[in-house]
Chains A and B, each alone.
Chain A
Amino acid sequence: MAETLLAVQGVSRSFGGLQAVTDVSLDVPQGSLCALIGPNGAGKTTLFALVSGFLRPDSGRVHFRGEDITGREPHRNALLGMTRTFQIVQPFAQQTVRQNIAVGAHLRTAGRREALAQADEVAARVGLAAQLDKPATDLTIAGRKRLELARALATRPQLLLLDEVLAGLNPTEIAEMIPVVQGIADGGVTVLMIEHVMQAVMNLAQQVWVLAQGRLIAQGTPAQVTRDERVIEAYLGHGMAARLRAAEVLA
């Protein structure tokens, strides 16, 4: 069993009367590619914000590389090796693709020339090499998702938190993006991704956690969780698991 890179222990957070995340614990092993899935509004992005430091948990602890980082600010976590992307892409709008990626590269590189050179390399890894001189706002949605990925990758993270990098892409673009994510994981970066596209989760993830209404309801390999009755009911509604089983028997 590989060492644990990220350990989330009993983390909870509420907004006013709304309990967004309740007592979630999960361990991400070093070098793995894991996924966090769940219906809309399950609290996945909130959990990412709690882990990366954009939000402070009401209770529970977060450990990264053995250090307690609960509530630590995002920029310090980035320096420690954890970088997140955003579901709604957040480019530096007035800058070119190259300048955008270079901001990430600057985390570990002071020199401007070196940072720009690293931006070129990272862009090639995610398939943005042809767009380096374009303003970030001229990119398509698929391009912006790649940019989001590239900027995070340029910080040379140990753990990447990817928040729906495939959302909004068409089937061709998804098929192009899956090997990019796989390539990042193969390069030694531990990846925890939030994803709705099951094709990607089934193909990529070694381990999956399922979040529904702020609670973890299942975990295991992709094949295990998709057969789990609680997961089916969380997605499709109460009683659906039994009806699906009946349908299978009939067929």
Chain B
Amino acid sequence: MRDLASIALFVVVVACTPLVTQSGVALNFIMMALYACLLAQAWNILGGFGGQFSFGHALFFGTGAYVQAIAQQYGVNPWAALALALVASALVGVIVGALTFRYGLKGSYFALVTLAFAEVFRIVALSVPFTGGGVGLMVPLRESAANMQFATRAGYLWLVLALVTVALLVSAWLRHSRFGAYLQAVRDNEDAARAVGVNPFRVKLAAIALSGALMGAGGAFYVQVFQYIDPGIAYGPSTSVEALVAAIVGGMGTLWGPVLGALALHVLADLTRNLFGQLPGINMVIYGSVLVLIVMFLPRGIAGIGVPVRWLRAVRRGDRNG
């Protein structure tokens, strides 16, 4: 299958970069770009394939991050904590999904409710004792692979690459499976999908759980890299925005769109940081402008540039055969 071949190629090339260069700056750049890819891909499952635009994916990110950090306070091994983080963020997805989809919230209403949920979680995280409140939580530094703390950037790079690979495989599965077909059918026309036997509630619930779990993995990875989390980082809106802008810019509902979008934005953010120095929030200004331009001129995103060409070719081929 072409999707699997392209994923394999991508993974091999990226996995080999630490063998080519030992530059900390370069490896750090690739690692953070992959991390952005992971968030965008997680959002893409619910937003791109499912058409449910969440503005509060930080909800899952923060849940994953806090579960990862708190579990370690209780002496749980980080690898086991990662599994807990995945389950917990999927569970939050199921709960939020059950509440919103049960009452048929769609479009901007769904977006607003997810945003509100993320804010509620942020305020709760500020006020309950086990999150450390506004002070945040530190993960004790104990460098070893068994402890998911690596001496070099390469270790973290391979870790996030593994998570990105899982996300890519999930996306590829969505493109070639019954569940994926149902999810896209619900996105395009819910009534038509119901008429041919699709249960939209169940499909959307599964999608938000899957999307939430991958976003939670992103949160857990963040904690392992920076060994610190606080309510603003965990549940603040910037993570939600980053995930959705990258997916929209790259191309929603595609395999490589979120990867391309995250990469493009990451390069852009890095360039502007060098050009404008440390102007705080300049990356958000850039994200906003790019989003407007993309929505106006490339509604299918970067990955969609080739689509009209492919269709044209397919139609021509069909004409010749017919």
Residues of chain A touching chain B, judged by Cβ–Cβ distance below 8 Å, are 52, 54, 73-75, 78-79, 83-86, 90-95, 99, 102-104, 106-107, 109-112, 115, 129-135, 138, 151-152, 154-155
Contacts and interface: CB of A to CB of B under 8 A. Distances in A.
Contacts of A73: 194, 199
B189 A154 contact: no
Interface stretch (B22-30, B72-80, B179-187): B179-187
Interface string B238-265: 0000000000000001000000000000
Interface stretch (B225-233, B267-275, B310-318): B310-318
Contacts of A95: 184-185, 188
A75 B185 CA distance: 13
Given A102-B181, A103-B181, A130-B318, A86 B176 contact: no
A91 B196 contact: no
B318 A131 contact: yes
B246 to A, nearest CB: 20
A133 B315 contact: yes
Interface string B274-310: 0000000000000000000000000000000000000
Contacts of A134: 311, 314-315, 318
A235 to B, nearest CB: 29
B184 A94 contact: yes
Contacts of B198: 75, 103
B143 interface: no
Interface residues of B, number: 27
A4 B194 CA distance: 25
A104 B253 CA distance: 20
A106 B181 contact: yes
B181 A91 contact: no
A52 B163 CA distance: 43
15 contacts: A75-B197, A75-B199, A83-B196, A85-B195, A90-B191, A91-B188, A91-B189, A92-B185, A103-B181, A103-B185, A106-B182, A115-B181, A132-B318, A133-B317, A155-B197
Contacts of A75: 194, 197-200
Contacts of B178: 106, 109-112, 115
A91 B192 contact: yes
A91 B187 CA distance: 11
Contacts of A132: 318
Contact of A52 (B189, B195, B315): B195
B193 interface: yes
A106 B186 CA distance: 14
Contact of A104 (B184, B194, B196, B314): B196
B44 to A, nearest CB: 14
B140 interface: no
Nearest to A53: B194
A96 to B, nearest CB: 8
A234 B59 CA distance: 58
Identify the 4 closest CB pairs spanning chains A and B, nearest first: A78-B197, A92-B188, A90-B192, A130-B322
B196 A103 contact: yes
B195 A152 contact: yes
Nearest to A108: B197
